[in-house]
Structure formats: C-alpha cells, structure tokens
C-alpha cells in the first residue's frame, strides 16, 4: 500500500466514523435506540483504531526501509566518488613529479 492509499484509507475510516455519529444523532429514532447504536459503534471503535494503527505502522516500516536503502545508495556513491578523487589526485601527483621544476620565471640560472 503506497503512502497515498494509506492516508486515503485513514481518511475514509475517519470520515465513516464521523458520518456514522452524525447520522445517528440526527436520525429520527428514540433516545434508547440511538444509545444502543452508539454503544455498538463504540464497541467497534477499538478494532477500527487497531486496523488504522496497523496500517500506519506498515507505512512507517516501508518508509524506514526506503530511507535506509536510499541512504546506503548515497553512501556507496560517495565512497566511489572519494575513491575516484584519490586515484585522480595520485595520477596528477605522479605527472607533476615527473616534470622538471623551473627555477624562476624570467631569471637565468647563471646569475
């Protein structure tokens, strides 16, 4: 379940609960009937909350796994970039070490 469908499911559950309570409160029933229906709804609420909690936990686990995977990929790219930089630096050092050093610009060495 993606993040959008998880939040949509949560919204549907909350909307259904609010709609049910509103419907019960404005329905043309006796107070006793309304109380019985409210009691049944209240009895079902813990299960609804548990389902929603499970859904949120699954989404959090997936998000955590994705973040960890992305972090590991970023670290691997960084390690590769550092290694490439070290190789390039070593090559440049070797190239510069082979070149003769100039004494000075515009000055003769016989002075």
Domain boundaries, the chain: 3-96
CA-closest candidate to residue 27, choices 49, 19, 110: 19
Render each residue's pLDDT in the chain as its tens digit; 111 residues. 456 666 777 788 788 888 877 776 777 777 788 778 778 877 888 888 888 888 889 999 999 999 999 999 999 999 999 999 999 999 999 999 888 776 555 555 554
Bin 30: left if φ > 0, else alpha if -120 < ψ < 50, else beta: beta
The span from the CA of 93 to the CA of 80, in Å, is 20
CA–CA separation, 75 and 68 (whole Å): 11
């Amino acid at each position: 379940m993606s993040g959008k469908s998880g939040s949509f499911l949560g919204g549907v559950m909350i909307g259904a609960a609010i709609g049910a309570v509103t419907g019960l409160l404005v329905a043309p029933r006796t107070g006793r009937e309304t109380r019985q229906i409210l009691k049944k709804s209240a009895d079902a609420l813990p299960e609804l909350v548990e389902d929603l909690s499970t859904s949120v936990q699954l989404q959090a686990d997936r998000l955590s796994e994705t973040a960890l995977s992305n972090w590991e990929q970023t670290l691997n790219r960084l390690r590769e970039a550092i290694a490439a930089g070290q190789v390039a630096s070593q090559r440049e050092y070797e190239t510069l070490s082979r070149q003769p050093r100039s004494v000075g610009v515009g000055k003769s060495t016989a002075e």
